[in-house]
Amino acid sequence: MSFLIKIFVIWFTIIFSSLANEVKVFDFTEIELSKLKVKKVRGAKNNTLYTVGSNKNGSFLKAIANNAASGLGKEIKIDLNKTPFINITWKIEKDLSGIKENTKKGHDFAARVFVIKKTGATPLSNRAINYVFSSNNEIGFNSPSPYTKKSIDNVLASTKNNLDEWITVKANVKDDFKKFHGLDVNELDGLAIMSDTDNSKMEAVAYYQNIYFSAE
């Protein structure tokens, strides 16, 4: 009996340690969806349509952007000293092939996840990294947003490699803030999801699932 107890204690310690080193950001439920802050991009004709669903791996968020641009934001504190890595599972069903994403006329992404650090009194002073699932650029490509240098677009996935299939990507957010903004950021203030096509006037379909931060 004592042997079984020791095994249980070891198992529980491993599981608890693993959970303590992960911070889940979204649940992707109807209740959560009703509470997330919706932010429509100024000048956009339509809001992106967001709905929730599920598969064998759990709940997901589906986004349909038809000449549309609106995001879903969540204020959440993330300790980047403990959990600096963002992990994103996502899929692009319909991409935006042919646009120039680093220009104002083509600055649309079928899927993107913003990580945000407040650096001033107004939202315009915030710094952000925009982790994107690109339809045209290669993984590793990055550039400032054509609308503001305070937001950096960083390609973590590309439909050139993965179209209409689930993939999981990872990035060190703490290192990226230092690399792209020259900031030593210890804590994030929020995240946002957006699928947008207001500049290209096209349609994109994307899915998001299991977005969390981890120690490694």
Residues 80-130: pLDDT tens digits?
999 999 999 999 999 999 999 999 999 999 999 999 999 876 667 799 999
**What's the whole-model pTM score?**
0.88
152 within 8 A of 181, measured Cβ to Cβ: yes
Residue 167, pLDDT > 70, answer yes
113 within 8 A of 190, measured Cβ to Cβ: no
Residue 2's pLDDT is what?
56
- CA-based torsion, 150, 158, 106, 28: positive or negative: negative
Find the DSSP H helices in the chain: 2-20, 30-35, 173-181
Within 95-150, strands assigned E span 109-117, 127-134, 142-144
25 within 8 A of 173, measured Cβ to Cβ: no
Domain 23-214 has CATH 3.40.30: no
pLDDT for 12-56, tens place per residue? 444 444 445 899 999 999 999 999 999 999 889 999 999 999 999
Q: Where along the chain do its domains lie?
A: 23-214
CA dihedral 95, 100, 103, 105 (to 10 degrees): -70
